[in-house]
Amino acid sequence: MSSNSADRLDGRLLALIGVVLLGGLLGILNSTMAAVATGTFARIFGTSLSTVGWTSTGFLLAVTATIPFATWAVDRFGGRRLWLAGLALFAAGSLGAGLAWDVGALIAFRVLQGFGAGLLDPLVLILLARAAGPHRAGRVMGLMGVVLSLGPVLGPIAGGVVLDGLSWRWMFLLSVLLAAVAYVLARRVLPADDAQSGAAAGRLDVLGLALLAPGFAAVVLALSQTAEQGGFAAWQALLPLALGAALLLGYGLHARRTAAPLIELRLFAGRGFSASVAIMGIGGLGLYAALFALPLYYQQAHGHGVLAAGLLMTPIGLGGSLAMPLAGRLSDRIGARGLATAGAIGAMLSAFALTQVGADTPEVWPVLAAFTFGLGSGCFSAPTMGSLYRTLPAPLVAQGSSVLYMLNQLGAALGVALVTLVLQTAGDAMTGFHRVAWLSVVMIALVLAAVPLLPGRPSAVPADGQLV
């Protein structure tokens, strides 16, 4: 078989990619849709915004706590079985949330949704990486990047449309329909699990799970409370932060003394792996800062409503969705460094352009800057993810995927805290927007500094567990 035919994404693989991405889109869309309905929930249930905030915080904590378990469970039960279980849990949580009778029930069912999403989210990476193989990792991760780019932008738009024309319950009931479609398609497309798959999983590292899952969840909770309380010094943030740090330190000591820990710390000994997860986390924080601040700019400086501001955010997601598939495909041939360098420079210049806009700047300029920001971000994100899976040996794909996703969750929570603090301490709206844009500039500059640590041109990937 020729190399071209071996590298081609055939129809069966494309069908698998499409079905997996549909399931992966569920959590992103639903979480961002629910975020725009916070005020609606508070009014309907007659409760405070801080209480309603737990509909999002509970979901996020459930996702974070479930991801480490998925690392082990995918080998114990098989990717197909676990994927179907995640879809079923997510659909059950969505149905309950859509029928919720009070805010307590809504929070509880959102947590159930989070458990389902916590299985699905790392499985997206694991299933796609295993199906693609190392030599097609870039192009497949580029296709996944379309979902990652458009999901956070389309979610608020879809939420606004639902709230304008339908009951809030349809935000969750529509997720039930999408989950049902994804379930039926997954049963048809996903290959059957190997009958011997459970034998390779070994025993569950129960102590490691008991330390790592609540440890990460506590740190994420601390960062969420930092944003809500308006500072890092509040006890609501310090208490979970101290608990999370202690649990993670305990996991580190446990992992060093255990033959088969839940997550191998030696993953970080590989320069390429450490650089990849750092770039994805830091770059995501920089992109999130822009996603958070731009809608506020359009509303406060130009007087747009929520839906119009959401529509004006489309260019940043469109830029990423255009760049990622092309950059990912190219990285399979020429490597990640050149593409990531060009993308980081483009994204940094775009973020700098946002520091220069004012209340009287025509909207076309921030829209163009957002579009090129998305292009640049896509040009370093897809090649970086592709290089990560090219350097990971097959036995460590599940662990590497979980580490990447947990650190992304941590980066998102840190981004919320930092951006909120920047906006709260600014003297006026435009000063706050400019400071957030400068935060994006700094984050992308750190990405640019880390790019030379990425692996060079694609080469053979070891299968014996040795990291490159």
Distance CA 53, CA 39 (A): 10
For residue range 292-329, list pLDDT tens digits in order.
Answer: 788 878 888 888 876 777 788 888 888 888 888 888 88
pLDDT score at 96: 93
CA atoms within 13 A on the CB side of 93: 27
121 and 65 in a common domain: yes
Let me know if residue 336 belongs to a domain: yes
Residue 460: band (very low, low, confident or very high) from pLDDT cuts 50, 70, 90: very low
User: Mean of the pLDDT values across residues 412-430?
Assistant: 75
Is 30 within a domain?
A: yes
Determine the pLDDT at residue 456. Answer: 67
The verdict on 254 and 272 lying in the same domain is no
Say whether both 108 and 83 belong to one domain: yes
What pLDDT was estimated at residue 230?
A: 66
In a domain, 197, yes or no: no
User: What does the angle CA 384 – CA 389 – CA 392 come to, to the nearest 5 degrees?
Assistant: 125
Residue 66 domain flag: yes
Spatial separation of the C-alpha atoms in residues 85 and 182, rounded to whole Å? 12
- Domain housing 94: 10-191
DSSP structure string for 144-161: HHHHHHHHHHHHHHHHHH
Of residues 109 and 152, which shows the higher confidence score? 109
**Higher pLDDT residue, 465 or 307?**
307
SS3 102: coil
**What are phi and psi for residue 317, nearest 5 degrees?**
-75, -35
Q: Tell me if residue 305 falls in helix, strand or coil.
A: coil
Q: Contact 93/113 with Cβ under 8 angstroms?
A: yes
DSSP label of 194? P
**φ/ψ of residue 466, rounded to 5:** -85, 130
Within-domain flag for 84: yes
Q: Is residue 422 part of a domain?
A: yes
Instruction: Give me the mean pLDDT over the 382-400 stretch.
Output: 77
Is residue 242 located within the same domain as residue 283?
Answer: no
Q: Is residue 463 included in any domain, yes or no?
A: no
Q: Specify whether the CB–CB gap between 336 and 387 falls below 8 A.
A: yes
Is residue 31 within 8 A of residue 155, CB to CB? The reply is yes
Give per-residue pLDDT as tens, 64-108: 888 888 888 888 888 888 899 999 999 999 999 989 988 889 989
Check: CB of residue 320 under 8 Å from CB of residue 143. no
Among 246, 261, 276, identify where a domain stops.
Answer: 261
User: Are 247 and 359 in the same domain?
Assistant: no
How large is the average pLDDT for residues 177-206?
77
6-55 pLDDT, tens digit each: 445 567 777 887 888 888 888 777 777 776 777 778 888 888 766 777 78
- The Cα–Cα gap between 205 and 208 comes to 5
Number of domains in the chain: 3
Tell me, what CATH number does 155's domain have? 1.20.1250.20
Provide the CB-side half-sphere exposure for 43 (13 A, CA).
5
Token representation of residue 167: 């009951």
8 A C-beta contact, residue 394 and residue 137: no
Residue after which a domain boundary falls, among 261, 279, 299? 261
Q: Are residues 37 and 181 in the same domain?
A: yes
Tokens representing 305 are 């409503």
pLDDT at 330 over 70: yes
Note the pLDDT of residue 465: 47
Residues 297 and 430 in one domain: yes
pTM over 0.85: no
Q: φ, ψ for residue 431 (rounded to 5)?
A: -60, -45
Are 415 and 284 spatial neighbours (Cβ–Cβ below 8 Å)?
yes
| Token digits of residue 166 | 């339908």
Write down the pLDDT at residue 1.
39
Angle made by CA atoms 436, 437, 441, in degrees to the nearest 5 = 115
DSSP alpha helices (H): ranges in 303-396? 306-312, 314-334, 337-354, 364-391
- Assess whether 222 and 107 both reside in one domain: no
Are 283 and 251 contained in the same domain? no
Residue 221 has pLDDT above 90, yes or no: no
Q: 164: how many CB neighbours lie within 10 A of its CB?
A: 10
In a domain, 271, yes or no: yes
- Domain final residue, candidates 191, 218, 249: 191
**Does residue 233 sit in the same domain as residue 315?**
no
Specify whether 451 is located in the same domain as 310.
yes
Within this chain, do residues 35 and 158 fall inside the same structural domain, yes or no?
yes
Look at residue 467 and tell me whether its pLDDT is greater than 60. no
Write down the number of H helices and E strands in the chain: 18, 0
Closest CA to 94 of 71, 77, 76, 117: 117
